[in-house]
Amino acid sequence: MSQYPSANVVQKDIELYYDDDIGKVIVPGEPHKDRRYGGHLIVLPRYRSAHCISTLLYEDPEGWRFLHLLCALTAQAMLEMLPCLNGHNPDGREGMVNVFDGGNWGVHDESTNPPKPKSGRYKRVHVHIYGRSPLEPKDTEQDRALHWGWGEAPTFPRHRSRQLLMARQFTDDERFMIKTRLTDLIQIYNIVPSKPPDP
């Protein structure tokens, strides 16, 4: 039996953290990275109208700051709580995280039905957080597609083939550990929003 989900298995987005005044963290239904080797989370700003980071800074400076803080604290929670990243590997090596401002598939012609050409303004700001484990395998094509290989740059499938290989989401226990630590870190760093910007 394959260690990966079948392409016809439907995994849904799962909300990991949400605060209307700070932002949101989700476990994507189509993770780019398998949970055993670091996994994949997505961080969203508190208001999703901006199409790029610089626009968010102009429209909502505090939201821009919260997005960066939420990315940093989410990454820290993953590094502290996931055994594959925090040094509990057989050889004792610690992992790391990659932070990626994506949105490429969102502007693809075929991302809507019917397909249509799109400009960069069609994108909405969101940030991918990828755990990177020293034990990432890279022996087979499927391994390289789902785990990339330690020391290698991330590789992503073409838009049309993005659902052919599916990685596994974080388990309930893993989500609970990350969420609990993330909530603690937000309190430790005293992230307190002021009043929302004018619409």
DSSP 47: S
- The per-residue pLDDT for range 171-182, each reduced to its tens digit, is 999 999 999 999
Place of tokens 């395998």: 137
**Contact call for residues 46 and 23 (beta carbons, < 8 A):** yes
Backbone angles phi, psi at 185, to 5 degrees: -65, -40
Q: Which CATH number fits domain 15-188: 3.30.428.10, 3.90.190.20, 3.40.109.10, 3.30.420.40?
A: 3.30.428.10
- The per-residue pLDDT for range 108-119, each reduced to its tens digit, is 888 778 888 888
User: What pLDDT shows up at residue 104?
Assistant: 79
Query: Could you tell me the mean pLDDT of each successive run of 10 residues in the chain, 199 residues long?
Result: 47 92 93 92 88 90 94 97 92 94 80 82 89 91 82 80 75 97 94 66
Query: Within a 10 A sphere around the Cβ of 166, how many other Cβ atoms?
Result: 21
User: What pLDDT shows up at residue 121?
Assistant: 78
User: Can you name the residues that pair with 24 across neighbouring β-strands?
Assistant: 18, 44
Q: Which long-range contacts (CB under 8 A, 24 or more apart) does 152-157 make?
A: 154/32, 154/98, 154/100, 154/130, 156/32
Query: How far does CA 42 lie from the centroid of its chain?
Result: 3
Structure tokens, 59: 């429209």
